[in-house]
Amino acid sequence: MTNVFRNDLSGDLPLHLPVLLEESVSALVWNPDGVYIDCTFGRGGHSRAVLERLGHAGRLIGIDRDPEAVAEGELLAARDSRFSIHHGRFSSIGEIARQAGVAGRLSGILLDLGVSSPQLDSPGRGFSFGADGPLDMRMDPERGLSAADWLAKADESEIASVLYELGEERFSRRIARAIVAARAETPILTTSQLADLVARSVRTREPGKHPATRTFQALRIRVNEELDEVRLCLDQVCDLLAVAGHLVVISFHSLEDRIVKRFIRDESRGPQLPKGLPVQAVETRGRLCALGKQVRSSDEEVAANPRARSAVMRIAERLP
Output the known binding site for S-adenosyl-L-methionine: 44-46, 64, 90, 112, 119
| Residue set of the binding site | 44-46, 64, 90, 112, 119
Position 194, amino acid: L
Continuous segment of H or E residues that includes residue 153: helix 147-153
Rounded to the nearest 10°, the torsion over CA 291, 230, 37, 28 is -20
CA distance 85 to 97: 12
Exposed / middle / buried, residue 272 (Cβ in 10 Å: 0-12, 13-18, 19+): exposed
Continuous segment of H or E residues that includes residue 37: strand 35-38
CA distance 238 to 101: 16
45-53 and 21-28 helices cross at what angle (nearest 10)? 50
Dihedral of alpha carbons 98, 102, 106, 110, sign: negative
